[in-house]
Amino acid sequence: MDDFNERNKAGSESEQYVRAELEQRGYTVDSWGRSVFSPGINAALNSYRDTYGNSCALRWQPDFIIRNGNPHSLRAVEVKRYYGKPDISRLAADALVGLDRAYRMPILIVFHCPERDEDHVLGVLTARQCLKLGGTTNPGNPETGSGEPLFYIDPRHLKPFDNFFGAKPQQ
């Protein structure tokens, strides 16, 4: 999927899918991150570099902040859609680990692969686990993505969604 608009649409579909799964499990889900920024701010975040050429870490804010009634259930959730192998940019993982440290709140990355069978559509890791388990890096391609290097994650390392968020109540 090379076109930005196609990737953006697919990413939005994954976010809505994960939002619905969380809400079905009793979580309150509030939007966070880039979805609340204006198009102008998002464009600036994509192109901003400091004097050392570093991207702004605000590019990688989690998509949601969630809770299920218990104050200790507060979590941030980043949604990543993938085909084949899950991946995350090294800079995104670094930024999310930094947020985890700064906010003292778990940040979970939910990987969504609509191609997989129903029991394996969603998998979860923490940002720290992504850094630890990330394998072969892809140098990145600015024509098909951010251009940032990617960490590939072996799908066998993904933890089941229900382990983190509970099972869906029976209808």
Who has greater pLDDT, 169 or 112? 112
Considering the chain, what is the average pLDDT of its residues? 86
pTM over 0.85: yes
Amino acid code (one letter) for 44? A
Half-sphere exposure of 147 (CA within 13 A, CB side): 6
Lowest mean pLDDT among 42-56, 102-116, 142-156: 142-156
Q: What is the mean pLDDT of residues 48-69?
A: 91
What integer pLDDT is reported at residue 70 of this predicted model? 86
Q: Is the pLDDT of residue 143 over 70?
A: no
Which residues does 20 contact at the CB level (< 8 Å), separation at least 6?
Answer: none
What integer pLDDT is reported at residue 78 of this predicted model? 96
Do 45 and 38 contact (CB within 8 A), yes or no? Answer: no
Domains and CATH numbers, the chain: 4-165 (3.40.1350.10)
Percent of the chain with pLDDT over 90: 46
What integer pLDDT is reported at residue 145 of this predicted model? 55
What integer pLDDT is reported at residue 119 of this predicted model? 63
Q: What is the mean pLDDT of residues 60-86?
A: 91
**What CA–CA distances, in Å, run from 76 to 59, 65, 109?**
15, 4, 9
Q: What is the mean pLDDT of residues 58-77?
A: 92
Of the candidates 27, 128, 38, which has an alpha carbon nearest to the alpha carbon of residue 73?
27
Which residues does 21 contact at the CB level (< 8 Å), separation at least 6?
Answer: 122, 161, 165, 168
